[in-house]
Amino acid sequence: MLKRYVPILAWLPHYHRRLLAADALAGLIVTAMVIPQSLAYALLAGLPAVVGLYASILPQLFYTLFGTSRTLAIGPVAIIALMTGAALSNVATPGSAMYLEAALVLALLSGAILVIMGLLKMGFFSNFLSHPVISGFLTASGILIAASQLSALLGVESSGFTLVERLMTLLTNLAAFNLPTAIIGASTLAFLVLMRRYGKSSLQRIGFSLGLADLIAKAGPVFAVIATTLATWYWQLDSADVATIGNIPTGLPPLSFPWSNSSLWSALFIPALLISLVGFVESVSMGQMLAAKRRQRISPNQELIGLGAANLAAGVTSGMPVTGGLSRTVINFDAGAQTPAAGAFAALGIALVTFAFTGWLYYLPIATLAATITVSILTLVDFPTLRQTWRYSRSDFAAMAITITLTLVEGIEAGIIGGITLSIALFLYRTSRPHSALVGCVPGTEHFRNITRHDVETVDHVALLRIDESLYFANARYLEDTLYNLVASRPALEHVVIVCSAVNLIDASALESLEAINARLKDSNVTLHLAEVKGPVMDKLKLSDFLEALTGRVFLSTYAAWRELSRPTEIPEE
C-alpha cells in the first residue's frame, strides 16, 4: 500500500551506481536546457522570471517522491502559463502583490484538486476532454502564445489574452518598435528554426555521431541565450532600450502561505479545475507514450497525486502551476534518464543556479526568450489534424472549430468549456439516436448481417433487430418509436428479437421502456425476445421483474433465436 502511494519506495532500493551516473548526466543536461524555458514561461504568465526557476525546484522533487513516470520532467509549461496569466488577470493587476499571491493560490488549488481526484481514483475524468477538443485547444493556444510574443520580439507594448486584443494593441504601438530588439528576435528565431530543421543532419555530415548531433541541435536555445546575452553585455544594448531579464533575486525560493485573501480562492476555483485537467492530460499523455517505448507503465491515478503534490509544493515556495512539460520531458528521455532521480538532479541544478548564478542572466534579452517560446510552441499548431477531422467527422470538426474560435476570440476558459460542452452534447445527440439494423441469416452460416447491405435469409413473421448502442435515458424513447414503427409496418409479424450484442448497459429509464414495449407488443399479439444479452446486463435484469413479464425468451445467440422462431407457424386443424 505504501509503495503504491509513494512509488519511490519501489525503485530506490534497487538503485545502483550505473543508474546514478545516467540520471546525473540527464539531470545536468536538463538543467542547462530548461532554465531559459522556465524564465520564459514565467514571463508568459505575467510573473517575474525568477518564479519560473522557483517552480522548477521543489515541485520536481515532490514528483520524484510521488510520481510513477521514470522520465517525466515537471515544471512550468507554455499552455499552463498562458492559462495562468489569463486566470490571474481577471482577479489582479499584473505586477502587483495580489497578482503574485493569486498565482500561489492557483497552484495550491490545482494541487489540492489533483490530489483529491487521485485519492478518489478519478483519472477517468480527463476522458471528457475529447481528442478534437484537445487538438483544437492546443492549436488555438499555440496561435495565441505566438501572437503574445510578437510584442517582445519587436520591443513594443501589447496586452490581452485573446487574439483580437493582442493584435489590436500590437498594431497600435507598432510604429514604436525597437530596431535592436527586432534584430535580436529575428536572428534568434532564424537560428532556432534552422537548428531544429537542419542542425542534426548538418552536424552528422561534418562527422558528429547521431546522439551528439541530436543533443547539440536540441541545445539550440542554450547557444542562443549565451550568444545574445554576451552581445547585449558587450554592446550595452540595454541602454538602447533592449529589454532584458535584469536583476533576478539570488537565493532559494522563499516559503509562502497565501491564506489572507479568501476571495481569491473562490474566484480561482474554476480556472484551477481547468488547469488541473489540461495539465493532467498533457502530462499523462506524454508519460504513457515514453513509458511504452521502454515497456514500462504509469498509473494515471497516482500521477494525479504526483502532479498534485508538485503543485502544492509550487504554491508554498513562491512558484506557479506546473505539469509535465513536453520539451523538457523529451530532453530528459533522450539524455538517458533511467529513474525519477534524474528530475531530482535537474531540480538541484536549477536550485544551484538560483542560489548563486542568477546575476549571469542580467543581460539576457526578453526577445531571446520570446523566440524560444515561439519556436517551441508552434509545434502545437496542427492544421493536418483539422483537415483529417473535417473529412472523417463533421460533428467532431464542429467541436474542434468551436474550441479554436472561442479560445481565440473569448479566451482560454471559454474555449475549453465550450469545447467540452459541445462534445458532450454531440455525444448525447448521437447516442440518443442509436444505429439499429434488421438482420438476417447469411446462407449456410450462423452469421447475421444487415438486410440492406447483404443477401441474407429472412421470414415475414420474425424480425431480428440489432441495437448498436447501450440503452439509457437519452435513447429509451427512440427505441420505443423504432419498435412500434417496425410492428406497424409489418402486419405478418409475430416475433421481435432484440439482438443485444452491442448493449453494455440498460439503465432504469431503458428498463422502463422495455417493459412498456413488452406490454404494447403483447397487446398486438407480437412476442418480444432478447438475444446475446451480456452477463453484466443480464445480472441487472435479474434484479427486476422484467424477465418474469417477458412474453418471449432470452436466447443465448441470435442463431438459436432464428432456428427456433423462423420455422413456419403451425395452423391448428379445424
Does residue 298 have a pLDDT over 90? Answer: no
Q: Give the pLDDT score at 574.
A: 44
Does residue 279 have a pLDDT over 50? Answer: yes
For all residues of the chain together, what is the average pLDDT? Answer: 91
Q: How far apart are CA 38 and CA 76, in angstroms?
A: 6
The DSSP H or E segment spanning 465 is strand 462-467
Q: How far apart are CA 131 and CA 90, in angstroms?
A: 28
Report all structural domains of the chain as residue ranges with CATH numbers, in order of start: 18-373+383-399 (no CATH), 436-565 (3.30.750.24)
Q: How far apart are CA 23 and CA 43, in angstroms?
A: 29
Does residue 447 have a pLDDT over 90? Answer: yes
Residue 128 binned pLDDT confidence (cut-offs 50, 70, 90): low
Mean pLDDT over 371-396 rounds to 86
Mean pLDDT over 247-255 rounds to 92
Mean pLDDT over 451-469 rounds to 94
In this prediction, what percent of the chain has a pLDDT beyond 70?
A: 98
Q: Give the pLDDT score at 572.
A: 46
Strand runs labelled E in 124-185: none
Residue 216 binned pLDDT confidence (cut-offs 50, 70, 90): confident
Q: If DSSP codes are grouped into helix, strand and coil, which group holds residue 177?
A: coil
Q: Give the pLDDT score at 569.
A: 56
Q: What pTM value is reported for the model? A: 0.82
- 51-60, 250-259, 364-373: least confident range: 250-259
Mean pLDDT over 195-205 rounds to 92
Q: Give the pLDDT score at 563.
A: 94
Q: How far apart are CA 180 and CA 185, in angstroms?
A: 9
Does residue 3 have a pLDDT over 70? Answer: yes
Does residue 391 have a pLDDT over 50? Answer: yes
Q: Give the pLDDT score at 257.
A: 86
Contact 555, 529 (CB under 8 A): yes
Q: Give the pLDDT score at 131.
A: 80
Q: Give the pLDDT score at 386.
A: 87
Mean pLDDT over 296-325 rounds to 93
- 85-89, 115-119, 412-416: least confident range: 412-416
Dig out the grid coordinates for 53 from the structure. Answer: 526557476
Q: Please state, in angstroms and as integers, the Cα–Cα distance from residue 553 to each residue in 448, 479, 497, 499, 546, following that order.
A: 19, 19, 9, 12, 11
Does residue 37 have a pLDDT over 70? Answer: yes
Tell me the per-residue pLDDT of 224-238, one tens digit each, with 9 for 90 and over: 999 999 999 999 999
The DSSP H or E segment spanning 163 is helix 163-173
Tell me the per-residue pLDDT of 342-355, one tens digit each, with 9 for 90 and over: 999 999 999 999 99
Bridge partners, 465 (sequence order): 438, 498
Residue 127 binned pLDDT confidence (cut-offs 50, 70, 90): low
Does residue 32 have a pLDDT over 90? Answer: no
Give residue 496's identity as a one-letter amino acid code: V
- Is the sign of the CA dihedral 9, 13, 19, 21 positive or negative? positive
Mean pLDDT over 269-291 rounds to 88
Q: Give the pLDDT score at 474.
A: 92
Contact 323, 280 (CB under 8 A): yes
Mean pLDDT over 79-94 rounds to 92
Q: Give the pLDDT score at 571.
A: 47
